[in-house]
Amino acid sequence: MTIAGREISALSREKTIVLALIIQLFIAAFSSFLVVGLTSLYDPGSAGGEIEVGVSGDQQDKLLDAIAQSDSVSATVYESRAAALEAFENRAVNAALTARSKQTEQGNRIAVDAAVPAESLETTLIVVTLRDLLSDLEDSERSVRTEYLEFSPVEIADDPAGTGSDFTQYFSFTYTILLPLLLFLPPFISGSVVVDSVTEEIERGTLELLRVAPISLTDIVDGKAFAMILLAPLQALLWIALLQFNDIPISYIPLLALLVLATATITTAIGLLLGLLTGTRQKAQLLYSMIVLLLFGGAAALPEHPATTAALLAVDSPTVTTFAHVAGYTLVAIAGYAVIRWYVGRLDPESL
């Protein structure tokens, strides 16, 4: 416990770590208005602006009706798709849309062919804007054809914020980007701090001074690890409290804290192992960053990515798979740290 307290007090002298904590604190404390601006980066369509499209086809009237309801799109009508594409090629319009009838086994449908710029800075904005326009067209057609349905569609709950699609983007960004960022950054920092702590002791030769006390190398490693493992869920709980203060509800807080604790244990175990094996700060930090990023990216192969698990817990929509993932991360963390303690117990301190 003395070593753990020493490690935590030493964090105040690590400018990089303190700066990272301040940034996280700022994001969590002022998340309500920050999300509004950050959503513009996450969803370019929320930034506003108007695009000009060329419209053609035998179903252009319905497409024009949808455009008339949009504040982001204006239209120029062309007699044929070829004329609209020519205007698009000449950059007279930002995109060319052709709305045409299409017969399918289910009946008559409206197909819209779109031509947009390839690999330009405005492509993303145009695609997002057209996606919203076509969604509005689809909703309009669904409303008109409701009386012909042979079944009752599922009712969609009212938007509690009354902001339409903007609420969906706000909701998506908050729980799939902002929350995982605040939850998984502390474990990453914890492992990085452990790497610095272990390698610094080895490089400066102060590890021998610690061993003068009646403690083993395992006790020293436990003290360093305990401080960083405990710090991560405490940070996460603080960030969650600040999010809730900003009227962002978070569910399953104990399980989220357990998820962060397990992740911090895994990253700390990796940091300890690399610090003891390499003994040099630069090499250990480089290997640590690469391994953790590869593991986090490789988690996409799992049925649920850790960020998805956190999001599902936070929005009160966990599945059996979600609970299984939390349990799995916990077991991996326990087993991983047990292996590290076993390795440290067999390690000759004189070889460090």
- In tens digits, the chain (352 residues) has pLDDT values of 666 666 666 665 555 556 666 766 665 555 554 554 454 454 544 545 578 899 998 888 888 888 888 888 888 999 999 999 999 999 898 899 998 888 777 667 888 898 988 765 567 778 878 888 888 888 887 777 777 666 666 665 544 444 444 445 666 677 877 888 888 988 988 888 888 888 877 777 666 655 555 667 777 788 878 888 888 898 888 888 888 887 788 999 999 999 999 999 999 999 888 888 887 888 888 898 899 889 888 888 888 889 889 988 998 888 899 999 999 999 999 999 999 888 887 776 555 5
Which pLDDT score, from 0 to 100, does residue 327 have? 95
Which pLDDT score, from 0 to 100, does residue 78 have? 92
Question: Across-strand partners of 104?
Answer: 107
Contacts of 285 (CB under 8 A, 6+ apart): 192, 195, 196
Under DSSP, is residue 58 helix (H, G, I), strand (E, B) or coil?
coil
Number of alpha carbons in the 13 Å side-chain half-sphere of residue 321: 9
Which pLDDT score, from 0 to 100, does residue 128 have? 77
Alpha helix (H) ranges present in 69-164?
Answer: 81-89, 123-144
Which pLDDT score, from 0 to 100, does residue 164 have? 45
How many angstroms separate the Cα of 17 from the Cα of each of 170, 186, 242?
29, 10, 20
Q: How far apart are CA 8 and CA 3, in angstroms?
A: 9
Q: How far apart are CA 325 and CA 302, in angstroms?
A: 9
Which pLDDT score, from 0 to 100, does residue 26 have? 66
Q: How far apart are CA 287 and CA 83, in angstroms?
A: 57
Contacts of 245 (CB under 8 A, 6+ apart): 29
User: Is the distance from CB of 159 to CB of 79 less than 8 angstroms?
Assistant: no
List the domain boundaries for the chain.
2-38+165-351, 48-148
Strand-pair category, 107-115 with 73-77: unpaired
Sign of the torsion formed by the C-alpha atoms of 220, 223, 226 and 228: negative
Which pLDDT score, from 0 to 100, does residue 130 have? 85
Count of C-beta atoms within a 10 Å radius of residue 148: 7
Number of alpha carbons in the 13 Å side-chain half-sphere of residue 180: 15
Provide Rg for the chain, Cα atoms.
27
Q: Does domain 48-148 have CATH number 3.40.50.880?
A: no
Count of C-beta atoms within a 10 Å radius of residue 300: 11
User: Which candidate, 269, 265, 257, 266, places its Cα nearest to that of 310?
Assistant: 257
Which pLDDT score, from 0 to 100, does residue 207 have? 61
User: Which candidate, 11, 34, 326, places its Cα nearest to that of 173?
Assistant: 34
